[in-house]
Structure 1
């Protein structure tokens, strides 16, 4: 049975850091793959997992940049591009051929609020293709290694941005509806949550559990590169001098605080035997029963919880089928 979508009372909170989450844990003998692991929250996740003893592999579209960013952190770097299906298959095949078990797959890479409608080589909208489809393909290809771990977790880094849009199944690529950056981002982040629901349901019998999460709003990650300083100031993320605002109670976090929930989802014994839930502030999140029709960024950061459409098992199954169709599985 899927874990109930309600807080556990983990003992952690919005200001908890990733280092605090793994304090006392020994991850020796475990292997983790962290997408987006050479910048922002992914880099912090890779650093903390490695410091706790795990073998960490970071797939990167720009291997040289990844090496520079990860200098001094003992992780492995391999080539992979989430917008290139052949690249994903090659990376996954290489890992499977190594006969290694995979204990943690942390899907942390993302793009956000792309200002103009952008499509990949297949004609798929870029945010949906990068944030969801690339990770769906990667996880599916790595399933044999995840099953071999005899207890694995797939962590899908979503966002409170899921509240901007459900997955529009009859037009996911904006072929017949107007595109806006936040509709595209919101749809992709809802897909991240639904993917965890669907994967957990299908794979828990094989010892593979899946969880999704919102990390918080962290300026230093580079995820907001398409946003202007004026937009970030209006949202309360930057102050009038352009400096980051720190207020974990409103999801305004440091990189260490932002990475805490995904590290907790990947490693915490508190979640043993659990899955299919959306987390925030280092705990399972409540369900948000009401969502404003019009919601700006500042509103989104004040409110807590997951919108029901993002954890609906029927929508999760429909997304799974659509993803298989789009990827020709």
Structure 2
């Protein structure tokens, strides 16, 4: 991806539309009436959790869906019966694998209309990739940064593409700590690393949209909600899930969309809405939740926002254009 010319651009206000949908809306609700025939989508993590539901719904709306997977056999088993969904090998933490997948896609000559960067890991023990990068940052951010850059020609060729970066309310745990991205000097805390990677996802959408809008490429970051039964929380203790109200005392999953505790179908909704909604034509570079653009969390409401999941909103540091530009430059260096 080449550096975008420094031309004045309008940014989308971080302000609800409103969309007409809400926290309880499902992915099928938001795509109703949208025809994706002839469109091509790539969905990372598209064979489990909200990624699988995203693949199903985009395909049902007519899109051809490509699912890159570290474990292609597992992916094919999960996607069995979904005609029009392709599985390709790719491991986000391995640059050679990302490049090979992108090269195969570009060789097919197809434009890429929708890229949903949904795959991710959460709160893992300290692990580093082959380059020494902390694994959550390397997987959740750098892998998707590299993938998007390599697929750039196909996104431009779509003449109207959308990129969806799956972020999280986990942004609350940490901004991007530029002077120690990989926990080389500070103590490693799994949720600090997760929060940093999710803030990076949100900032990535801000800068990608700035660079891409002149080429018809728009980007969005989304908070899908808390969806416990996807496998993402496998490193989180049962005690922590109970304390968060995500499961009850018997270990049963709690569903309460008003508190961001959602089903997989509800969790996939905001990403699908960002990928397909005509209401977002001409918009981009914003963080979304509950199938709408999120408001900024004001200083006077931050304490309440941190204390409850019922208040929507995005912290200013997660959509700060200066931090987004800095992260982009650092990411280019790290991915070479």
Give the TM-score taking structure 2 as reference length. Answer: 0.95
- Of residues 188, 195, 218, the one that matches 1:209 is 218
Instruction: After TM superposition, give the deviation of residue 100 of structure 1 in Å.
Output: 0.3
Q: For residue 328 of structure 2, what is the aligned residue in structure 1?
A: 320
Q: Residues 113 and 292 (structure 1 numbering): CA distance in 2 closer, same or farther, change over 3 Å?
A: farther
8 A Cα contact 1:6 1:287, kept in partner: yes
1:85 matched to which residue of 2?
95
Moved more, 151-160 or 227-236: 227-236
In structure 1, the residue corresponding to 2:314 is in which secondary structure? coil
Choose from 113, 116, 127 the match for 1:103.
113
Map of 1:94 onto structure 2: 104
**RMSD over aligned Cα atoms:** 1.2
SS in 2 for 1:325: helix
Conservation of the 8 A alpha-carbon contact between 1:131 and 1:188: yes
Number of aligned residue pairs: 324
CA 286–294 in structure 1, closer or farther in 2 if over 3 Å, else same: closer
The residue aligned with 2:183 is 174
Give the CA deviation at 1:292: 4.1
Q: Give SS of 2:252's match.
A: coil
SS of 1:13 mapped into structure 2: coil
Partner in structure 2 of residue 255 of structure 1: 264
Q: CA deviation at 1:283?
A: 0.2
Higher alpha-carbon deviation: 124-133 or 240-249: 240-249
Structure 1 position 303, deviation (Å)? 3.4
Match of 1:13 among 6, 22, 40: 22
Q: 1:284 to 1:164 in 2, by over 3 A?
A: same
Conservation of the 8 A alpha-carbon contact between 2:55 and 2:65: yes
Map of 1:37 onto structure 2: 46
Q: Does 1:156 align with 2:177?
A: no
* 1:315 CA drift (Å): 0.2
In 1, Cα distance between equivalents of 2:247 and 2:269: 22
Give the one of 115, 118, 143 matched to 1:134: 143
TM-score (norm 1): 0.97
| Aligned mates of 1:165, 1:187 — CA distance in 2 | 5
Judge conservation of contact 1:161–1:300 (CA < 8 Å) in 2.
no
Structure 1 residues 327 and 243: CA distance shift in structure 2, 3 A: same
| TM-aligned CA deviation for residue 302 of structure 1 | 3.3
| In structure 2, C-alpha distance between the alignment counterparts of 1:127 and 1:2, rounded to whole Å | 29
Change (3 A) 1:201 1:118: same
Shift in alpha-carbon separation, 1:26–1:294, aligned structure 2, 3 A: closer
Structure 1, unmatched stretches of 5+, are none
| Offset from partner CA, 1:113-161 (integer Å, 9 cap, x none) | 11x2111111000000000000000000000000000100000000000
Deviation of 1:300 (Å) = 5.6
Q: Structure 1's 6 and 35: CA in aligned 2 closer, same or farther, altered over 3 A? A: same
1:196: Cα distance to partner?
A: 0.3
Does the residue aligned with 2:68 lie in a helix, a strand or coil?
strand
Answer yes or no: is the 8 Å Cα contact 2:45–2:119 preserved in 1: yes
